[in-house]
Amino acid sequence: MDKVIAIDGPSASGKSTLARTLSEKLGIPYINTGSMFRATALAAQKRNIAWDDEKALQDMLRTVTMEYKVNSNGEFELFCDGEFPGEALRSAEIAAGASKVGTCPAVREELKNQQRRMSAIGWIVMEGRDIGTVIFPDAEFKFFITASPLERARRRLAQEGDKAGGTLEEVAAAIAARDEQDSNRAVAPLKPAADAELVDNSNMTLEETFNYIYNKVKDAVL
Give me the residues that bind ligand C5P (CB under 6 A), please.
11, 33-34, 37-38, 95, 98-99, 102, 128-130, 178, 182
- Among 93, 104, 83, 98, smallest CA distance to 40 is for 98
Q: What is the closest distance, in whole angstroms, from the C-beta atom of residue 166 to ligand C5P in the complex?
A: 16
Under DSSP, the state recorded for 196 is P
Helix H or strand E encompassing 37: helix 34-46
Compute how many other C-beta atoms are within 10 angstroms of the C-beta atom of residue 162: 7
Q: What is the closest distance, in whole angstroms, from the C-beta atom of residue 102 to ligand C5P in the complex?
A: 3
Q: Which is nearer to ligand C5P, 132 or 213 (CB)?
A: 132
Q: What is the closest distance, in whole angstroms, from the C-beta atom of residue 181 to ligand C5P in the complex?
A: 7
Under DSSP, the state recorded for 138 is T
State the residue number with the nearest CB to ligand C5P: 34
Q: Which is nearer to ligand C5P, 25 or 112 (CB)?
A: 112
Q: Which is nearer to ligand C5P, 109 or 218 (CB)?
A: 109
Q: Which is nearer to ligand C5P, 99 or 119 (CB)?
A: 99
The burial of 132, by beta-carbon neighbours within 10 Å (0-12 exposed, 13-18 middle, 19 or more buried), is given as buried
Strand partners, 67: 79
Q: What is the closest distance, in whole angstroms, from the C-beta atom of residue 95 to ligand C5P in the complex?
A: 5
